[in-house]
Each structure stands twice: as structure tokens, then as C-alpha cells.
Amino acid sequence: MALSLASLNLHCGVDRHGAPYSVKQAVAALDTDVVVVQENWRTGDRPGIAAAAAADCGYPYVAELDLVTGRSLTELRIVRRVVPDDRGAWGLAVLSRVPWRGCASVRIGAASRDPVGSRLAQIVTFAGVRVVNAHLTHRLTRGPGQLRRLLAALGASAEPTVIAGDLNMCRPTVLLARPYRPAVRGRTWPAHRPVAQIDHVLLGPGVPEVTGVVGPAVG
């Protein structure tokens, strides 16, 4: 099964100054079969910002995974000042235009001084391929351990697997994921003036080579 895939860190729908931007436009611009989202944001009983955009952009299949709840954007270090609707749930999401066979999560551990605490990754299984949505800690010395735990949890499956997301590590460190191999090269962080690539798409054994690009910044 051939799928087009994009990874998008929504930064909770706000830019670095805390000003909101159009999440709908950001998702629509990707126009891929599957979008894996990091830093999804949900307040109250409302759908998350990823799910709300999915409804408007033709993605009928949505899986949201809250990693922390009842926290503020300031506590999560998304912004440095109080913004409206400041407390909510922060996490991951997968949006898809094609049905999946199953959706699960796997725990990849915590890092000291990480406000998120213990992190999880999403695993979505389509016909013939697994897509893993991961957002590793920003604590640089702890990210490799989370990556190793993720690889161990995935195991040596016969199912071709793609890992995508904000891995918070530069390209040389990502080589720890072998036999997974990077599919995209380009600077991704910080969004307003990228100097490093910390967001990646990693292809596992059995996944054919593809051409990937870094898209325009959002937020």
C-alpha cells in the first residue's frame, strides 16, 4: 500500500510569541494521505486542534493521544506568558484519509526536568505498513534512550515501519536508529529561522526509498 506522509509539530496552534495561527491552513497545505502531529492541544471537552482541522481538510480518521492534561502552555514551555484557554491537554494525533487496521501506543519513558513526564508514541497500522508518531524529549542526553526504547518496543516486525515526528535530535544522532534510515534532509528548527534538523522521517527495512522535503514553516 502506497501512502504519502507528513509530520507536523503544531506548537499547540500558536507561534513563538503565543499568537494563534490557522491550523486548518497548515494541515490543508500538506495534502498527504496521513499526517502525524506533535504538540496537539485540546481544551475542555472540545476536540483537539488537530481533530478540528481534520474535519475541515478531508481526514475522516483521527486518533488523538493526550500525554499530559490540565497543564498550561506556560508550564509546558510553549509560551512565556499567559494566553487565553491556557490549560488543556497536550499530545499527539494521527490524521488519515485512508482507514487503518489498528491504533496503539507504547511507553518510551521520562526524562528529568521534562515537564511532559513519561512519554508515549503512537503506532498506527495500515494495510502493509506501520506508521509511528513520536515526539521525544528536548533533554538532549535523554532522547537517545527514548529512541532505543521505541525501537525495542517495535521489535523486528515483518511489517514495514516508518517512524516520523519531532525527535529533538540532529541527523547524526538519528543514526542510532539503524537499520532505520532518514528519508528527508533539511533544517526544521526553530520554525522562524531554521538552523538544525530535529524532525525526521525514518524508513525501516522493507520500506522503499522515497523522496521527501521539508515544507514551509507554520506558526
pLDDT of residue 111: 87
**Rounded-to-integer distance, Cα 153 and Cα 96, Å:** 23
The pLDDT, as a whole number, for residue 42 is 95
d(CA 88, CA 166) in angstroms, rounded, equals 21
72 residue type, one letter: S
* pLDDT score of 210: 85
CA–chain centroid gap for 16, Å, is: 18
Phi, psi (degrees; rounded to nearest 5) at 26:
-65, -45
Looking at residue 84, its pLDDT comes to 65
Compute the distance between CA of residue 101 and CA of residue 130 in angstroms, rounded to an integer: 10
Write out the three cell numbers for 65.
Answer: 493521544
β-sheet bridge partners, residue 107: 120
Cell numbers placing 18: 503565543
Strands (E), 136-174: 161-166
Q: How far apart are CA 34 and CA 102, in angstroms?
A: 14
Per-residue confidence (pLDDT) for residue 179, from 0 to 100: 94
State the pLDDT at residue 85. 62
Q: What is the mean pLDDT of each run of 10 residues along the chain (219 residues)?
A: 93 92 97 98 93 98 96 87 79 98 95 87 97 94 93 89 97 92 95 94 93 88
Domains in the chain: ranges and CATH:
5-203 (3.60.10.10)
DSSP state of 176: G
Q: Among all chains, which residue has been given the C-alpha cell 475522516?
A: 60
